[in-house]
Amino acid sequence: MPLHKNMRRAISVLAYVVAFNTLLAYGLPGGLFGIFILGLGVLYYRIAAAEAVTLSVSLVLVTLMYSVALKLTGFENAIYYRPDEKLSEYRADLGHLAYRRDTTMHMHMPYGDLQPMTSVKIGVPRDVTYHIDGYGFRNDADYAGERYVLVGDSFVAGSSNTQTDLLSAQLRHAYGLATYNLAHPGGLPDYANYVDAFASSHRGFKVLLFVFEGNDFEVDEQKKPPKVLRAWRRYYTMFSGINVYRVTKSLIRRASQRAQITGSVNVTVRELNGHPIGFLTRYIEATRDRQRPTIPSFEHALLRLRPYLAHVYFIPTKYRVYYRAVESSQAPALADTKWEYLKQLCVRDDLACTNLTAPMLRKADALRARGELLWWPDDTHWNGRGIAVAAQVVTETLKGDEHGARRARD
């Protein structure tokens, strides 16, 4: 007996919903996803119910086969040059990004994050180990009541560095200072979200906040999206942990950047001690910028963090630290607008605040004669030696804070 018209329509709608959700598994950019969904909507409206079901089932089967092929061929891992992208995922229970819980990964990195953006050979291979705790952050063990919690982006999370070189690890092993690493790439509003979520189940901790000159002052000034849009984001990224999502999203991103990579517009390469060293061009521009920022969302996030803050640290860009060495000893002084802005906020809000630039410069000059750097030459991130400088400064400033020397330190 032929199906009733309303029944056929319901079957077509159900088939469309299946296709809609299956496409979410590919991690497509919003615009591209919208085009596909709109096209499918028109198609499902025109075709018969049986054809709609066949198309949806086929899409599901193809997606499953794609996932299995990625796993069997090893391509799901081969596309990653570092663990960060593979381990990072949206955590609905926390309401923000974090790493995949209870994971240990050993990986050979053929190069740092600048090499994929330039055709100039600057890659430095390294072996790294990442251990993610039960909460979803990069620690050797779960939170055990440590007094200080480290909050910041990829510098503190330890991108491109092995576990033993992490700031938290060096503070513990070199100075006996137990800290917990609550860092993940993001901006200041994200850091406030990390702390708020952490504070919902933990008490009695104080935050050591690290703000990076390169991108922490590029905060999106759009208002916080309404709850319905935040709910949509969680729904849109519900498949972020599967290989189909990760691989497809990564491949699309790389394809979209191909022209820029070929032209090497994203990376500026200079020579230091006879060897090439790369700088992210965008961070060079941020370092040279002479216009002091005014970022309401940055200031609001800092106020959200204020009840927890023990100390704020300013991380300079690699270009600032090696500016004289790669440009000229007579080159004009760089602007310092980002630090001046942060220092002003720290003074206003009575926050202890320290600029890591001066100790970084001193150590960089001392090591350069030995051919050693504080940053990876092929990466935007500092290496273990650079992290060691930060660990020493953190230890010294906390001792000063205990003796009442709270101030903005250049």
Instruction: Annotate the chain with three-state secondary structure.
Output: CCCCHHHHHHHHHHHHHHHHHHHHCCCCCHHHHHHHHHHHHHHHHHCCHHHHHHHHHHHHHHHHHHHHHHHHHCHHHHCCCCHHHHHEEEECCCCEEEECCCEEEEEEECCCCCHHHCCCCCCCCEEEEEEECCCCCCCCCCCCCCCEEEECCHHHHCCCCCHHHCHHHHHHHHHCCCEEECCCCCCHHHHHHHHHHHHCCCCCCEEEEEEECCCCCCCCCCCCCCHHHHHHHHHHCCCCCCHHHHHHHHHHHHHHCHHHHHHCCCEEEEEECCEEEEEEHHHHHHHHCCCCCCCHHHHHHHHHHHHHEEEEEEECCHHHHHHHHHCCCCCCCCCCHHHHHHHHHHHHCCCCEEECHHHHHHHHHHHHCCCCCCECCCCCCECHHHHHHHHHHHHHHHHHHHCCCCCEEC
The pLDDT of residue 254 is 67
What whole-number distance in Å separates Cα of residue 78 and Cα of residue 16?
Answer: 33
Higher pLDDT, 404 or 263: 404
> Is the pLDDT at 259 greater than 50, yes or no?
no
Span 298-348, pLDDT tens digits: 999 999 999 999 999 999 999 999 999 999 878 899 999 999 999 999 999
> Is the pLDDT at 198 greater than 70, yes or no?
yes
CATH tag, 91-409: 3.40.50.1110
What are 72's two structure tokens?
Answer: 């069997």
C-beta of residue 181 within 8 angstroms of C-beta of residue 171: no
**Overall residue count recorded for the chain in this entry:** 410
Of 281, 271, 323, give the one whose Cα is nearest residue 117. 281
What whole-number distance in Å separates Cα of residue 308 and Cα of residue 147?
Answer: 11
Span 80-116, pLDDT tens digits: 889 998 899 888 888 889 999 999 999 999 999 999 8
Average pLDDT over residues 376-401: 96
Span 165-184, pLDDT tens digits: 999 999 999 999 999 999 99
> Is the pLDDT at 392 greater than 70, yes or no?
yes
In this structure, the number of other CB atoms found within 10 A of the CB of residue 197 comes to: 19
% residues pLDDT > 90 (the chain): 70
What whole-number distance in Å separates Cα of residue 215 and Cα of residue 186?
Answer: 9
Least confident stretch, 31-35, 48-52, 81-85, 223-227? 223-227
Of 269, 203, 242, give the one whose Cα is nearest residue 22. 242
Sort 59 into a burial class: Cβ within 10 Å, 0-12 / 13-18 / 19+: middle
> Is the pLDDT at 7 greater than 90, yes or no?
no
pTM: 0.82
What are 399's two structure tokens?
Answer: 């001792």
C-beta of residue 159 within 8 angstroms of C-beta of residue 82: yes
Average pLDDT, the chain: 90
Give the rounded distance of the alpha carbon of 222 from its chain centre: 20
> Is the pLDDT at 224 greater than 90, yes or no?
no
C-beta of residue 95 within 8 angstroms of C-beta of residue 66: no
> Is the pLDDT at 262 greater than 50, yes or no?
no
Average pLDDT over residues 121-125: 95
Domain boundary assignment for the chain: 5-73, 91-409
Span 24-46, pLDDT tens digits: 999 898 889 999 999 999 999 89
Sort 392 into a burial class: Cβ within 10 Å, 0-12 / 13-18 / 19+: middle
